[in-house]
Chain A
Amino acid sequence: MSDSIPSVSIINGRLVDPANQVDDMLDLHISQGHILATGDKPAGFEPDKVIDASGKIVCPGLIDLSVRLREPGLESKGTIATETRAAAHAGITTLITLPDTSPVTDSPAVMELIRRRAKQSGHARVLCLGALTKNLDGKELSEMAALQNAGCVAVTNAGRPLGNTLIERRALEYASTFGIKVFIKPEDRHLRNKGCVNEGIISSRLGLPGYPEAAETVAVARDVALAEATGAYIHFQCISAAKSVNQINRACHDGIQLSVDVAAHQLHLTEMDADDFNTGCHVDPPLRTLRDRDALREAVASGSIQAICSDHQPHEPDAKDHPFPDSATGISALETLLPLTLKLVDEKVLDLPTAIARLTIGPATIANLPFGRLDNGRSADVCVFDPDAFWQLEADKMISQGKNSPFVNWEFHGKVTQTLFEGRITYDSDA
């Protein structure tokens, strides 16, 4: 197979590889699907193709810790083929899917199905989070060791509630037996109740059921205590409240192994955006206050939050065409992951290498993956983007099957021009 991959040199670009502290005008040479060299062309190497990246940034392909590809089971919303193609357009080369598929990803068979579909489409690497409990019912443990053998990155209950804290404790203990990380979207379902927007001035004004901050912080406190008690490694996904980050920071300080990511939309939108019953902003966890948003931004800058994910959830149009509380949650977000992160650079929240780190080596470290870096011999997953390209997101031009984005009509700086996955060009804007 690899013989047929054309060799590539990406020249004249600014190479930003945070894992190797590289930020310099360096060429990148790729052969046999792997990084051959950076800088000068190795003697005797004649690339089949040369990409001129003048004025562009060359960085590792992005890794997204939280996506729903909707296959198997919800193909009306998206398929592995459509969503990985959208990922390639967005510079994303590794997608980590949640197990709330239908059937649930709680067996090696479902994982194998996903792996095969992804290989067929060939646009990006698709890795699975396995189910923490059977059918995500929160009652019985899944066969985690088998899932691990089949290649799952970690296990999670995908935001579905666990029956009780005893089950959580046992699930954490069992996972830690095999060194499997547990991904948790922290939520106390009783405190959450029917909440669909942040409990705050918008919920008070619009009479929408409030989703209090405490529904997240109480869960974080519980999960942290159990992580300490069991020695399990928890990764917190899609944090929304500033106080959650503070709690996790303190726990890390005390030596508990934890990591955190945040969805890109939480760094740009607030509860105020759900005003006018805008179902595009119906997300779970909900958009919080401006204070939370700013604290999350700071945490991303300082490294308290190590990764930014898309929390990609494509939907068919009907899913959002309901009164706010009845509408589906989530954003079709692959195509705005890099643009929203670059916006933080524009707004001087992050410098460019840090922004890229949160999309590459940050998530790679959390998921314990050998990707997200460009040292020699690594898989040639590369994203090339033009940081100055100015564009506007239009729903009908989105590649994802889901057009549900509150960022439609937003203006962005920075557009992916080429994506290479395992050395192959999976997207080329010039092509």
Chain B
Amino acid sequence: MRHHNHQLTEDGKLKHFLSIEGLNKNLLTEILDLAESFTSLADQGRSVKKVPLLRGKTITNLFFENSTRTRTTFELAAKRLSADVLNLNISTSATSKGESLLDTLRNLEAMHCDMFVVRHASSGAAHFIASHCAPHISVVNAGDGSHSHPTQAMLDMLTIRQHKEDFTPLRVAIVGDILHSRVARSQILALNTLGVSEVRVIAPRTLLPYDARSMGVHVFTDLHEGIRDVDVIIMLRLQKERMTGALLPSEHEYFNLYGLTEDKLHLAKPDVIVMHPGPINRGVEMDSAVADGEHSVILEQVSNGIAIRMAVMSMCLGSRQESQRKEETA
């Protein structure tokens, strides 16, 4: 159970943000509360949209897997907090990726960074970096393999809370490629920690993990059954390579069976909200009428993404100094 505490300081504050696993409801609520405060920065009549909280700190976006969207939101979050940002996209194709990983780490440490935001194709990469980098550095996981994408999950939680207030009565359905989805894994953990009444996953068996029930979800293979009476529907993005990997026959059949349309949406609660981590494949995961419809909260997710990342960054860096100061005065 070591890694549960790995991301916390001795006094239970967030040091790294690697996974939802091992974080309690209070801490997740703290993240949501702080993010909520940060959302106000954007929508007021402020001429300067940034705050000086992380002035003088250097945050390095360490992306071993390309993702302009995610990197941009982390970059914007860091800049809104007045931190300096360094973007590094490290190609994994040339050398064995592990070699460059540890070497890169040593090099960056010498540059006196305060935080690494890490995205990597291998599950566990963020844990690995957190356990190998210098102790003053915080690591935020921006997606590792199929393991975890905790900031995405938390921005989804913030979006849900803004619409539903209380998590406890909610039924939430997650639809799509659960097997390969780090987003789904983090969402399931976050939803269960925040105490929703039911999490459902809906997918054909090729896209379900082994013994998915062990993850604390109810498993459905039929979309109609699965979304009946749910309050929230989260559609996952479908990667094209699932067709070539013989996991699915075609986008067409997937859309027929698992695509969200207005017709099917009637099965859910009348005030259901529809979410998607983006970018949407229209006509594959859902049709445009749903994506742009009144139940869709997809654009809110995007703006919440910046606030969540600001919250996580300031909590991680804040806790570091607090605990270090305690060591100094002790």
Contact = CB atoms under 8 A, between A and B. Distances in A.
Interface of A: 199-201, 203-210, 212, 275-277, 318, 321-327
Interface of B: 1-3, 21, 96-99, 101-102, 120, 122-125, 127-128, 132, 144-148, 180, 182, 185, 209-212, 214-215
A203 B210 CA distance: 8
A321 B102 contact: yes
Q: Which 8 A-B pairs have the closest CB atoms?
A: A322-B98, A207-B146, A277-B124, A207-B147, A204-B209, A323-B122, A323-B125, A326-B98
Given A205-B185, A207-B123, A322 B102 contact: yes
B123 A323 contact: yes
B98 A323 contact: yes
A277 B3 CA distance: 9
A323 B120 contact: yes
Contacts of A200: 210-211
A244 B124 CA distance: 30
Nearest to A277: B124
30 contacts: A199-B210, A200-B210, A200-B211, A201-B211, A201-B214, A203-B209, A204-B212, A205-B214, A206-B147, A207-B146, A207-B147, A207-B180, A207-B182, A208-B123, A208-B145, A208-B146, A209-B123, A209-B146, A210-B209, A277-B3, A277-B123, A277-B124, A277-B127, A321-B128, A322-B101, A322-B122, A323-B127, A323-B145, A324-B128, A327-B98
Contacts of A277: 3, 123-124, 127-128
B144 A323 contact: yes
A201 B216 CA distance: 11
B214 to A, nearest CB: 5
A277 B2 CA distance: 10
A187 B201 CA distance: 31
Contact of B102 (A207, A275, A318): A318
B83 to A, nearest CB: 26
Contact of B214 (A204, A325, A327): A204
A325 B211 contact: no
A323 B139 CA distance: 15
Contacts of A276: 1-3, 127
Contact of A207 (B99, B132, B185, B211): B185
A369 B214 CA distance: 48
Contacts of A325: 122-124, 145
A326 B214 CA distance: 26
Contact of B124 (A208, A210, A321): A208
A204 B211 CA distance: 8
Name, among B2, B125, B148, the residue most crowded by chain A CB atoms within 10 Å (CB to CB).
B125
Contact of A324 (B96, B97, B122, B185): B122
A323 B210 contact: no
A321 B132 contact: yes
Contacts of A204: 209-212, 214-215
A416 to B, nearest CB: 32
**Looking at B1, B132, B144, B209, which has the most chain A CB atoms within 10 Å of its CB?**
B209
A323 B3 contact: no
A201 B210 contact: yes
Contacts of B3: 275-277
B210 A207 contact: no
Given A205-B214, A207-B148, A208-B147, 13 more contacts: A200-B211, A203-B210, A207-B182, A208-B145, A209-B123, A323-B98, A323-B124, A324-B122, A324-B128, A325-B122, A325-B123, A326-B98, A326-B101
Contacts of A322: 98, 101-102, 122, 128
A327 B99 CA distance: 10
Nearest to A320: B98
Contact of A323 (B101, B146, B185): B101
A318 B102 CA distance: 9
Interface centre among A199, A207, A210, A325 (most CB of B within 10 A): A207
A276 B148 CA distance: 13
A210 B101 CA distance: 23
Contacts of A210: 209-210
Contacts of A323: 98, 101, 120, 122-125, 127-128, 144-145
Nearest to B131: A277
A398 B132 CA distance: 23
Contacts of B209: 203-204, 210
A199 B145 CA distance: 16
A199 to B, nearest CB: 5
A354 B206 CA distance: 44
Contacts of A205: 21, 185, 214-215
A288 to B, nearest CB: 12
A416 B99 CA distance: 38
Q: Which of B2, B132, B145 has the most CB of A within 10 A?
A: B145
B191 to A, nearest CB: 15
A203 B209 CA distance: 8
Q: Which of A203, A205, A277, A323 has the most CB of B within 10 A?
A: A323
A200 B21 CA distance: 18
A325 B92 CA distance: 14
B1 to A, nearest CB: 8
A201 B145 CA distance: 17
A203 B120 CA distance: 17
Nearest to B144: A323
B315 to A, nearest CB: 23
